[in-house]
Structure 1
Amino acid sequence: MNRKTFHHRTLALFAGLCLTGATAMAQTFPAKQVNLMVPYPAGGLSDAIARIVERPLAKAFGQQVIVENLGGVGGALAAQKVLASPADGYLVYQGSPNELILAPLALQAVKYKAEDFRMVQIIGAFPMAVLARKELGANNIEELAALAKKSAAEGKPLTYGSVGVGSFYHILGEHFAHQVGAAMTHVPYKGAAPLFQDLAGGQVDVSFIVIGAQQMGLIEQGRMKVLGTLAPAGKVEAPFLKAFPSINDSKVVKDFAYNAWTGYFVRKDTPEPVVQALNKALATAMADPDARKQLEQIGGMLPAPMTPAEATKEYEAQTARFRAIAKSIKLEAQ
Structure 2
Amino acid sequence: MRPTPPTLSRRLAAALIAGGLTLLCTAPAAAQEAAWPAKPITLVVGYPPGGSTDLMGRLVGAELSTRLGQAVVIENLGGAGGTIGAQKVVGAAPDGYTLLVGSSNELAIARLINKSVKYSPANFTPVGLIGSQPLVLVASTATGVKNAGDFTDLVKKNPGKFSYGSSGVGTALHLAGEMVKEQGGLFMTHIPYRGVAPLTNDLVGNNLEFGVFVLSSGLPHIKSGKVVALGTTAAKRAPATPDIPALAELPQFKNVDIESWFALVGPAGLPQPVVAKLKKALAETLQSPDFRKKMAAAGSGVAAPDANLPQFWRDEVAKYTKIVQFAKIDE
| TM-score class, shorter | 0.7 to 0.9
Q: Which residue of 2 aligns with 1:318?
A: 316
List aligned pairs for 1:255-294, cutoff 5 A. 255-294=255-294
SS of equivalent residue, structure 2 residue 228: strand
Task: Tell me which amino acid in the other structure corresponds to 1:326.
Answer: V
**SS at the partner of 1:71?**
coil
Aligned pairs (5 A) from 1:149-298: 149-152=156-159, 155-156=160-161, 158-212=162-216, 215-232=218-235, 235-239=236-240, 241-298=241-298
Residue type at the aligned position of 1:287: Q
Q: Describe the superposition over 1:200-229 as per-residue Cα deviations: whole angstroms up to 9, x where unpaired.
A: 2212222233112x6333223221111112
Q: Which moved more, 1:200-209 or 1:16-25?
A: 16-25
Measured in 1, the distance between the counterparts of 2:293 and 2:26 equals: 40
- Equivalent residue, structure 2, for 1:44: 51
Contact 1:104 1:114 in 2 (8 A): no
AA partner of residue 266 (structure 1): G
- Give distance in 2, aligned partners of 1:267 and 1:317: 21
SS of the equivalent of 1:261 reads strand
The CA distance in 1 between the partners of 2:28 and 2:214, in whole Å, is 44
SS of aligned partner of 1:135:
helix
- Paired residue for 2:88, among 81, 85, 91? 81
Residues in 2 aligned to 1:253 and 1:126: alpha-carbon distance in whole angstroms = 19
Residue identity matched to 1:317: D
Aligned counterpart, 1:31: 38
1:69 maps onto 2:88 in alignment = no
Deviation at 1:21, TM superposition (A): 7.3
SS of 2:234 mapped into structure 1? coil
The structure with more radius of gyration:
2
Question: Cα distance, 1:324 vs. partner?
Answer: 2.6
Matched, 1:111 2:118: yes
RMSD value, Cα: 2.7
1:73-125, Cα deviation, whole Å (9 max, x unpaired): 11111111111211222111111111121111222332222332232112122
Q: Distance in 1 between matches of 2:69 and 2:204?
A: 45
Code of the residue aligned with 1:325 in structure 2: it is I
**Separation in 2 of the partners of 1:186 and 1:285?**
38
Measured at CA, do residues 68 and 189 of structure 1 come closer, stay the same or move farther in structure 2, by a change above 3 Å? Answer: same
Q: In the alignment, is the contact (CA less than 8 A) between 2:62 and 2:72 conserved in 1?
A: yes
The alpha carbon displacement at 1:20 in A equals 6.7
Q: Could you say what secondary structure the match of 2:301 adopts?
A: coil
In structure 1, distance between residues paired with 2:319 and 2:32: 35
The equivalent residue for 1:306 is: 306
Q: Aligned partners of 2:158 and 2:292: how far apart in 1?
A: 44
TM-score, structure 1 length as denominator? Answer: 0.85
Return the offset for 1:19.
8.6
* Partners of 1:114 and 1:192 in 2: CA distance: 27
Amino acid at match of 1:40: Y
TM-score of the superposed pair, with normalisation by structure 2: 0.86
Q: Is the 8 A contact 2:247 2:254 kept in 1?
A: no
Q: Distance in 1 between matches of 2:272 and 2:314?
A: 18
